[in-house]
Structure formats: structure tokens, C-alpha cells
A and B are shown apart, each in its own frame.
Chain A
Amino acid sequence: MIHLGRNLVLNFSRVWAAYAALSLAVIAILFLIQRRWRKVKVPSHLIWRLIMPREEIRGLWRRCCQVLNLMLWLLMAAAAVIAAMGPSFEEEYQPGNIVFVLDNSLSMSLRPQTGDTRMELALGSIRSHINSAHDSAEFMLLTTAPVPEVCFPWQEKQQAENQLITDNLPVTSFGGGNINLSMRLAARYAGQKENSRIVLMTDGSEPVVNGDAATLVILNRHEINIGIDDLEISQDPFYLTYSGAAHVHNYGLLLHSCTLKVALGDYTVLAKELTLAPGAIGEVLFDLPLGRQGILTASLGSTGGEEVDLFGHDNVARAYVPRRELPRVILVEPEAGASLLAPALFSLDALFQLDKSIKTSPAGFEKIGAQLRPGDLVIFDNCAPLKPLPEGNYLLVNSATGMLPFDGGPVEEAPGMGTANSEHPLVRFLALEQVHAQRIKRIQLQDGMVPFLLAGNSPVLFEFELKGRRMIYLAFDLAESNFILLDSFPMFIAGTLRYFSRQYQTIFQDSYKTGAALEPRGRFSSEVTILRYEDDKLRESWTVTPDDNQQISFTSTQHPGQYYLQVDGKTYTPACVNFFMPGESIIDTTLTGRELISPQIPIRPWLVGRPAGQWLVYLALGLLAVEWLLYVTRIFD
């Protein structure tokens, strides 16, 4: 093993091949033998002396060439020998000291569906971190509830393992905690060691509410690289708030199967949302401009995605998420530019990397509507469709109700707003009570309409279905409200897109009886959609295929247990429950503690090798080719 640099090591897998280095000596000896002066009898010097002057001139050049030739052969042999030794450049993984901040609030004691509790999962993850770390790494554990407390101070690997495994560290769950203070304390301890990180294990739920988001966030302090005094952490959902400072250049957050909502810049400027694949571990890095503020909101979320570059205002964000086909937004408005909606949507366009954001007049919509894809969102702003709409997703903003299954009543001025269903994934986390509209349409609530926002008893924002068309109706003019100025508005649009991009929204029950049917609200994207159950007890798999009516019928009583969904050949894990209920989140109970480890704190062997033998073989072959070329061209003669 040869240390080449600070973290770079050259290692050999077949050291015995070093004996082949004797070939170098053989080559040198052969060269010297070849170059030795030999006595050769010639009949006369007569002819030789005729050519002697020129040979003397070329003598120096020839000697240089001979030495160069020797070097070439030695280099060739050395490359071959080193290649035979199986060299690999290995990077020394820096030990990395870790301060674990364990959220031991009461919510962590919940047992999501089956398996371990969140606390056990988190502890398993901590053990995996410690197991995989280098022997010289040191660890520290803090708990958050009821007050930040050091469970064990900086300890070496073995001792830390003992604390966690042998000594069975008595970490109990308390109600409530203070993550913010714990993180501040952790940052202070992290400052005591070089190359230290803070890993926060939390479910993001505080206090615990049934159905609340279960989130595991692993925070890499060195990726974040911000002063702890500038960092504020709030709760529900998990917030990391940064008030700008000059040394901020990088922001990193690792999430498992999450939807990451990002508000960059001032709170009111823009909200951005990224969607990461369930089960996938994505890396999101944000370069925050100086003097700006940022909010990171994390919760579990939906599926799909692709590599996107986000450019919004002065902020640049980059996300790497699995590829998927992103929805389009089609804006239909009577007067181009007359609405406040367009610029807001174009900001979203930058955020979502939408396929195509089309702004058109009502007259051209028929042509565009024929090309609607699942997941596309058509927004009618202050206008009504002239003809029956094709099947698709629609956001009707203050549209006329002539072709809708309800009547718009008299306009009510300056109503007071109230949230009807704040837990609905469409409006979750939105502060809709802050919305003020000058006038609203009074609409009679019909069957099948799901209201999110009410003005008195009148639904102001509600969802309904109409013969395959999924619609959200907003009963006031955006230009006459402050909704579009709130940071909730882009989040609402983003949530709408995500909400409509789902295929199903019926969440599975615990069991289905024979003859029961699963009726998805949306259509399958293709006929190869298969729902496969695998009973975790019987280890039987069973496949259901939607029938012509897009229903999944159960021919026997089934316990969902472990189940998978295959759509277009792609298999989704149970975490894809969000595929059915986007916005709702559930921790992936199939992941073990080791799998929950963030890639930002890589679990890898102490040395990560990159074999270099083949390149040396190529080098040797190249030198051989050069040598052959020199021989053929006789340049060295």
C-alpha cells in the first residue's frame, strides 16, 4: 500500500506479481549486453572509414535514442508488472465524527403498520452508521426530549457500539421535545471535532397526530456548512430556516422518499417543490445566494421525477431525482397577460421543468385539448369552456357555471374564509385562512364535491368529478384576492399538479373480502398496470388486473400485507402508497436501519478502490506500439 496523497492510496491485490519486476533487471541486462562493445573482425577498415565521419556525428543522437529506447522498454515492463499486481487507487474514507441527534419524542414510539417502532428504526440506523464507520471515528448521541440531553459524549467506535448494543442504552420516548435547541447543542459539540457531522433522526412529527407525516431526515452538517447561529429548526413539517450569512455556499438535505418543498428567497417570493421517488434516496443541493433566506420543508411525498435544474430568480437549485414524465400546464385565459396567473405559472414552469406551458385563447383549446395527457392540468382563468371538455384535469378559476353540474349563486362580498379539510393533500400545509377575496360566487355544495375552503357555508375551493374530468373549482377572481401573493399559492398549484398526476387515490384497507372491488378514481395509464399482493405470512403473491371498468376485483379475501404495484413494468414498493394518496406520507417499513442511512454519510469500506490495472495495460500496449513504430521507421537508427 502506497500513500500517494492525503486521502489517496495505491493498493495492490497481487503483491506476489512484484517478482515480475525482475523482468526490469532482465531488460536492463539484455540492454547492456546488447550495448556492450564487441570485437568484430573485418577484412579492412577501408570501407568503414569512408562512412565513419557521418557515424560519429550521429553517435550522440544514437546514444540518446538508445537510452530513450531502454526507458521505453523499462516503462513498458513496469506498466505490465504493476498491472499484473492488480493496482487500484483507493480513497481513504475520512472517519467522520458524528453527533447523533435522536428525536425521542412520543411520536417516535409509534409503530408504523408493522415492524419496529420509529425509535427502533432510528436506533438501528445509528448502529449501522457506527458499524460502518472507521475505527478511529468518534460518536456522540443527543436526545431531544424533554430537553436536549447528552446520552453519551464523544466516544470511540467500540465504546459507542457498546453503549448502543451491549449496554442497551435506555432511550425512551417522551412527549414533545426541542429539536431546535438540540441541533444548536449538537452543532456546538460538532465544532469540537474536525470533520464532524450532525445526523438528526426524527419523524418530523411533534406532537404526534394520527396519520401525521413520518419523516426521517439526515442532515449533513458539512454539506450544509452554515453557522449554527443562523440555523433555526421548526417543526411540523420539518423546517430548516437559514438567515443568510456570507459563508453560506452550499445546502444539503437528504431525504428518504420524500417530497421536498423549498421556499427560497423571501418567504413571499416563491415556493418550489421537488418530488423524489419513493424508496429512492435523492440528493438535493441548493446554492443559496448571499443575503437571502431559505426555507426547506420536508415530508414524505410522491413518486417519479427526473433530473431537473431549477432556476428561479437569483436562486439556483439542482435536484437529481428519477426520471418521469412531468405534467404540463395549459393556461386558458381570455386576455393574454391580463391575469396575474400567468407570471406565477411561468415561475412554476421554471420550477417544474414542465414539458410545455401553453398559453392560448379559448378558441384554440379544442386543438390542444385533444392532446391532453394524464397529469396535465388545464387552467381556465375567468373564462368558461365553450364546449364539453375532454377527459382530464381542470382548475377552473372563477369560471362560469353554465356547463357545470352546479349553479353559481349571487356574489358575496368580503366573506370570511375557513378551512374545511386542512389534512387533504391538496391544501395541506397551506395557510388558506389568510386568503382574502373581495367577492366570491355562492355555490351550493353538491354530492361528490369535496370542499377545502369555505366562506360561511359556501365552498370557495372544492374538488369534484364530472364524467372522467377531475376538476378543482376556485370560486373567486384571483385578481381580486391576495391568494396569488401568498406563498401558499404556488404550493397550491404544485399540489394540484401532483394531486392530479396520480392514478389512484383509494388507499388500501387492511383487508378485502371476496367480491370487493377497488375502484380507482383515475384511469390507469396503461393496460399493463398490475397490482400484486404478497402476503407477508403466507408468502403468496397474487396479481390483480384492472377490468374493463378500471376496477380491481378481489376473487378471494386478501390481506394486503406486503404489496407491490407494477405500472408499465416498473415496480413500486409499499412506499408508493403515496402513489395512491399523494401528499400522505408513510415511513417505509421495509427498510432496515442500514438502508435508512443517507448517502451523504456514505457507508462504504474504509478504502474504496478504483482498479487501474487496465489503464496500465493500455499504457504498456501503447508503448509497445510506439516501440514497434520506432522499429519500423528506424528513427533511432
Chain B
Amino acid sequence: MKLFDKDFLRKLELLSIVAKKIMRGELVSQRASVRKGASVEFLDHRIYSPGDDLRYLDWNVYGRLGSLFTKRFCSEENITIKIFLDCSLSMDYGSNNKFDYARRLAAALGFIGVAHFDKVEIIPFSGGRRHTPFILFSKKQFPPMLEFLEGLSSTGVTSFRREFDLPPTPERGKRVGFVISDFLDTEGYKFTVTRLQALKVQLCGVHLLDERELNPPDTGNLHLVDAEGKQVLSMAVSHSTLVRYRTALQAFCREIEKYFLHKEAGYFRIKTLTPLQEVVLLTFRHAGLLSGSRL
């Protein structure tokens, strides 16, 4: 699977994921941290105490005030970007396969992260199977990440509650989380949001929808086979049925969006027909999720 071309990767390098809050990171990096450090980012002044490094005395202030102050600088650390990738069977659907799209999106976000020396964790999840997260710190690990993504397969059912019902981890530092899923779990996504926010993760939901899912083309007497459970639902589908289906789907999406916004989490509803570049370079940037001015 060739996920990206060079031009797209070059553009991705210019982007960075925006962390809305300044938090502590784990490693020294390019992002401002609440820690004080030796970066060039000025933080504030402090009254000189004996033993302080004389290199940080602000002689300009001494000249004006006659008092000694030392300059303090903030530390620059990295953040942890957690990308939760829905690998349930429902994702393996659509003319533009949702799972493929989700993997490409995860790879793009991961590349943006490692391009700015952030820690990226790709955490596949599905109801029936535990996946080992893939963690990468540098761009050198990008090809292995792609291999990891290519090696993923959709399986199991969507069950947010089971996946995110985990004990708190002793992780520290900044964490930005992306949940890439079709959210076909009535109440589970709420648990996910609450749980991840409890873990101090700045959360953003990416809701993937395929065109066939939005506008089912089939009418007549249909045995609707659930991609996840293989159950069969028999229904005579007419045009008016499809109208009611679309209405119900829109209501479902609006409800998810409303909940994410209520929890001050980001929410993006993305059709798989939309080119990935448009999503990353335009949609995410315009929404403030990514920054980058030199594109």
C-alpha cells in the first residue's frame, strides 16, 4: 500500500499538531513545556540568588532598576500523540474502504508527529483482538510504521467500552489523542471520550463515513448482513425507507458531534470520498488541529 507520495510527505513535514494546552512532555523536543529549561524561549525573571548562573543575569534590567534579576527560560519537550485506530469489521466497508482510509490518515498524523520529534503511538483497537501499539519517535521509524499499518487487518466488532476500559497508566507528559473510527457503537463513544479525557488526553474524534453508508443504493427485498456480527436483518427497502435511513444516520452523527463538542473535544466527520490531502492540509488546518504557515 503506497500511502503517500513525496510531495504530500514534504507538505506534511511543514505541519505540526497543535496541543491546545501547554503540558509536560517526556523528552526534550521542540514544544514549549511547563518546565523551565535552557531553551531560547524566554519564560520570566527571577531575583538573583547566590549560586545562580551569572550567564542568565539580565544586565539591562540591572541598568534600569539597579537590581539583579536572572532570566528564566522554558523547557522544550515533545508531546505524545496517541492515534486510536478502529480495526473493527465495520471499518472494512465501502467503495473507498474506510479501514484503508483510516490507516492512511493515521500514517499522515503519525508522520506529522514524528516530523516534529513528537512521540507517536498508533493503537489499533477492535472488540475481539488486542493489538500491540506501535510507537515511533523519529522519521526513521516511519517506514516500519507503514509496514505496521499495512499489516493490520480488520476484525471483531466495535466496542469502545471494552477497548478503553483500561486502568490509568502512569504516563506523564503531553498527550493528544485521535480516535479514528466509524463510531458504530451507540453509547461506547461516550465512554471513550470520558475515559481518555480522564487520562488527560486532548481528544479529537475523526468519524469516517463511506458514500455507500451515507446513501445506500440498494432497494428491494434485502437481507442486510452486518459486517461485524454477520447477523442478517431482512427488510423491504424502498426509496422512502432510504430517506428515513438517511435521516436516522444524520441524527446519529449529530448526536456524536454534539457530545464531542460538549466535552470540548474535536470532532471531524469525514467522507472517505474526500481526498486525504484535502482533509489533512485543509480541513484539519482550518479547524486549528494542525498548524503550519509555510505550505
A-side residues, CB < 8 A to B, are 34-52, 54-55, 59, 62-63, 634, 636-637
Contact = CB atoms under 8 A, between A and B. Distances in A.
Q: Is the interface of B mostly helix, strand, loop or mixed?
A: mixed
Contact of B224 (A34, A40, A54, A636): A40
B222 A45 contact: no
B216 interface: yes
B225 A48 contact: no
- By size class, the interface of chain B is 35 or more
Contacts of A51: 241, 244-245, 248
A42 B225 contact: yes
Given A47-B252, A51-B241, A42 B216 contact: yes
Interface of B: 90-91, 93-94, 98, 158, 182, 184-186, 210, 213, 216, 218, 220-229, 231-241, 244-245, 248-249, 252
Q: Which of A34, A37, A63 has the most CB of B within 10 A?
A: A37
A78 B210 CA distance: 44
Contacts of A39: 222-223, 225, 232
Contact of A40 (B225, B231, B240, B252): B225
A34 B237 CA distance: 12
A637 B213 contact: no
B227 A46 contact: no
Contacts of A42: 93, 213, 216, 224-227
B222 A44 contact: no
B227 A43 contact: yes
Given A51-B244, A52-B233, A62-B238, A43 B223 contact: no
A54 B223 CA distance: 17
Given A44-B228, A634-B239, A54 B93 contact: no
Contact of A634 (B94, B184, B236, B240): B240
Contacts of B233: 45, 48-49, 52
B232 to A, nearest CB: 8
A40 B184 contact: no
A39 B226 CA distance: 10
Given A44-B184, A48-B233, A637 B223 contact: no
Contacts of A37: 221-223, 234
A487 B293 CA distance: 125
A338 B219 CA distance: 93
Contacts of A46: 184-186, 252
A637 B221 contact: no
B53 to A, nearest CB: 61
Given A38-B222, A42-B226, A43-B227, A54 B244 contact: yes
Nearest to B213: A43
B197 to A, nearest CB: 24
A41 B225 contact: yes
B227 A41 contact: yes
A9 to B, nearest CB: 44
A573 B158 CA distance: 101
Nearest to B218: A40
A160 B244 CA distance: 81
12 contacts: A37-B221, A37-B234, A39-B232, A42-B226, A44-B182, A45-B231, A46-B252, A47-B248, A48-B233, A51-B248, A52-B233, A636-B238
B249 A47 contact: yes
Given A48-B233, A52-B233, 18 more contacts: A36-B221, A38-B220, A38-B221, A39-B222, A39-B225, A40-B216, A40-B223, A42-B93, A42-B226, A43-B90, A44-B184, A45-B224, A46-B252, A49-B233, A50-B252, A52-B235, A55-B244, A637-B241
